[in-house]
A and B are shown apart, each in its own frame.
Chain A
Amino acid sequence: MAQARRKERIDRGIKVRSDSIYALSSWEEIAYLLGPRALLIGGFLLLPVVLLPSPYWSRVALSVCVVALLAVSFDFLANFVGLVSLGGAFFYGIGGYMAAVASTELGLPPVVAIPAGTVLGAAVCTLLLVPCLPLRGIYFAIITLMYPLFMTRLIEATEILGGTEGFRGITGFSSRWTEQYGLIVVTLAGVFALRRFLAEDAGLVIRAVKDNDQAVRASGINVTWTKAKAVFVAALFGCFAGAYYVHMYRNVGISSFALDLSIMPIAATVIGGSGTLVGPLIGALLLVPLSELLRDFGSLRIVVYALVLTGFVVLQSEGLMNFATRKYQQFERWVRV
C-alpha cells in the first residue's frame, strides 16, 4: 500500500511576526506587508500612463474598473452578507439612469450628477429590494436575477425613461485624465474603504448575519435593517459604476440592464477569489481584456467566459486571490500520516 501522505501548511515566520505590533520593526517586514498592496495600487494608477498611446485600451481599462466595482459589490453581498445577488445590472442600470436624468433633465455637471446618481440610485435600489431581503439562498438569487429583466421589459413596454431610445446628450468629462483617474481612484478607494468598513463593528454584525442570522436576531439586532444597510453599500458601488459609465459614453439605454453586466462581475469574482474583495479586481483585470480580445469572434467570447466560469466553479472554486494569499503567507510540505 502506498504511504499515505498529506500536505501540511505552516505560516511563514515573517507572516507570524508581521501579524503583530512588531510589524514595523524592519524594512523587510514593512515591505512584506505593503508589497502586494503597493503593487495593486501602483499598477492601477499606472494604467492610464502605460495605455496612453492606445485610446481603445484605455477605455478597456475603464471597463475593467466598472466590472471590478460591480464584482466587488457582488462579492460583498454574497460572501459577507450572505445575499447572493444575480442582478448586478440592476444597480448599474438604476445608477446610470439616475445620473442620466440628473444630467439631461436638470443640467447638472458630472461632478454633481455622478454622486447624485450614485446616492439616489443606491437609495432607490435599496427601497426596491427591501421587500425581498428576508428571502434566503436561491429565492433571493432568482428574484434579483429577475429585477433587471423586469426593468428592461417595463421600460420597453411602457416607454418611460426614454423608452428603448434612452437618454442622449449627457455632459462628458472635461479631459481624458479626469475621466480615467476619477474612476480608478474611486475604485481603489472604494475597495480599501470597504475592507476597513468590514473590519469595524458594523462589519462584524454584517458578517454575523451571513454566518448565523438566527443568532443575530436573538441578540436583538434587526436582521433586515442590517441587510438593508449592507445592500445600500453594495448598491453604492454598482450605481457609481453605472453613473460613471453613462458619463463616459454620454448616453444610456436599456442595455444598461443587460444580463452581461450581471454575469461578467460574477465570473470576475469567482475567478479572482470569493470573499477577498481584492480578488474581484484581479478577476476583472484578467477577464475584461480577455473578452475584448475575443470580441472579433462575436458570441464565442461569451462561450469562452461561461466555460472559464464553469471550470473555476468546479475545479478551482477558491479563486486566484485565495490561492495566491496562501502561497504568499504559508509554505507547504508533505508529511506522512
Chain B
Amino acid sequence: MKKYRSFANGLILLAFILVALSVGATHIDNFWSALTHPGSNEILWQIRIPRVAAAVLVGGALGIAGLMAQGACNNALAEPAILGTSAGASFGAVIAILTGLVQVGSVAAVLCGAVGALLATSLTFKLASLRSNLSSFALIIVGIAVSATITALVGLATTMVTRADARSISFWNFGSLSLITTSNVWSLFCVFIVGASIAWKVAPSLDLLSLGDATAFHLGIDTRRVRALALVALSILAGGAVSTVGTIAFLGLAAPHIARFMYGPAHRYLIIQSALIGASLLVLADTAARTVAAPNELPIGLVTSLIGAPILIALVSVKNTIWKTP
C-alpha cells in the first residue's frame, strides 16, 4: 500500500502538468499531437513548456529548501523566507543585475543569488547565537529581522536605480513565472541537481539531528558539518529559485509539512515527496494565476499562499503525532 502511496504525488504532478500545458489565454488545437511533436506549436513549446518546467523545478527546489531549513534548525517554523535566505537571494541577484554584471535568470545571477542566500542565512545563524547557544526562538526572531532589513534594501535598490531588465519590487516580493525562457530552465535544472544532491547526501544525518545536537553527536554525527551542508543546499536551491522567479511565499514551509503528514519524518524520503508536492502546488498555482483573471496575471506568491495555507491548516487541525514542539 505504502509503495503505491509513494507514486501518488508523482501522478498528481503529472496530471497538473498536463492541465497546465493544455490551458491558457490561447487555445491549442490538437493538443496531444502538438505535445508529441517537438516544436510543432510555438505557444506550447516556446512559452508553456518552459514556464511549466520552471514551475516544476522552482516548486521542487523550494520544497527541498524548506525541508533543509526545518531539518537544520530542528524547527517547524523554519523556511527560506523566515531565515532571511530568500531575501538574501533577492539582494544578491538584484545588486548583481543593477550593476550590469549579470542578467536575470542567467547562471551568473543564480550564483549571485545563492551567495546572497548563503551570506544572509549565515548572518541569521551568527546573530541568533551571539549571546548564547542557538535557540529556535532566537533563530526565528533574528531571521524575521534579517529578512525584513534585506527586503527593505532590495526595495530601495530597485527604486533608486532604474534598469528595464532589473524587474520590479513586485517581482522580487511576490514572484512571477511570466518571463521564463528556455535558458532559464536549464540554469534552474543545474541548480536543482546540485542542491538536491547535497540535500540527499545530508538527509540521513538530519534524521539524527532531530534528536538534538547532543544525542546526534553521541550517535557519531558532526553536527556543525551537517548543519553547514544543509544550509549550503538550502542556499543553492532557494537562491537559484528566487534569483530567477522572485520570492514565492509559503511553498518552503508548506510542502515539507504536507509531505511529513503523509509519509512520516525520514528525510531522504521527504526530499522526493517535498519536491513533488512543492512542484505540484506551484504548477497548480501558476495555472490558476494565468487563467483565473486572464488576460491579466495574478501574483504567483499570493496564489501559492491561497492554495497552500488551507491545506496546511487542515492537516495541523487533525490530531497528529508527526511533529511535537518541545
Chain A complexes with chain B:
no
